[in-house]
Amino acid sequence: MRELVTVVRRLAARVDNGALAAAPRPHDPAGYERPVLDGSGPRASEIPLDGTRPGASRAVWVPRTLDGCREPLVPGAPDLRGVWEVVEGRMKGHVERIEQAGNRITISVGGLVHDMYCDGTLENGVERRLHGPPLDHPATRAAAEAAGMLPD
């Protein structure tokens, strides 16, 4: 229950939209491109999974994880690729870069990286983030624990 209270407090807390708006955007022009998914280059499964590295911050954007991979998206997957900025609401100013190939998605905010397979399993998505390195966000773990979904 204590973890649920922590998650609710974080969600209800004021967001410093000025800090979000002032945060650096991806500096490499290639980060804004949506490559043609023509099947060239390595397959998404051939590229090692990425994650948040020690000392990472929103201030320094990491290179694209799936750079060079042109594997078409799996049937039915929405194409979310690109650099996105929230323009209204609670998270106004938040920027993230989304990469996709095959059944894989990588979401980066500066040096914070969430990279996973979208195959409907916990093992390749959320569970990997809860148990394996980099255990990248305590709020994710707290929310799963509060919901009774934390894997054993």
Tens digit of pLDDT for each residue in 34-73? 999 999 999 999 999 998 888 888 889 999 999 999 999 9
- The edge-to-edge listing of strands for the beta sheet with 112-117 is 82-85, 95-101, 104-109, 112-117
The pLDDT score that the predictor gives to residue 125 is 66
Residues 95-150: tens digit of each pLDDT: 999 999 999 999 999 988 989 998 777 677 655 554 544 444 555 555 556 655 55
Confidence at 91, pLDDT banded by 50, 70, 90: confident
Is 152 a member of any domain? Answer: no
Q: What ranges in the chain are assigned the alpha helix state H?
A: 2-12, 17-22, 126-131, 138-146
Of 112, 117, 79, 81, the residue nearest 97 (C-alpha): 81
Residue 94 or residue 120, greater confidence: 94
Is 111 a member of any domain? Answer: yes
- What's the number of domains the chain is made of? 1
Is 151 a member of any domain? Answer: no
Residue 23 has pLDDT above 70, yes or no: yes
Residue 152 or residue 108, greater confidence: 108
Q: Buried (b) or exposed (e) across 47-65, using 16+ Cβ within 10 A?
A: bebbbbeeebebeebbebb
**Which residue range is the domain that position 41 belongs to?**
2-146
The pLDDT score that the predictor gives to residue 134 is 44
Question: What average pLDDT does range 17-44 have in this prediction?
Answer: 88
The pLDDT score that the predictor gives to residue 63 is 92
Is 41 a member of any domain? Answer: yes
The pLDDT score that the predictor gives to residue 120 is 74
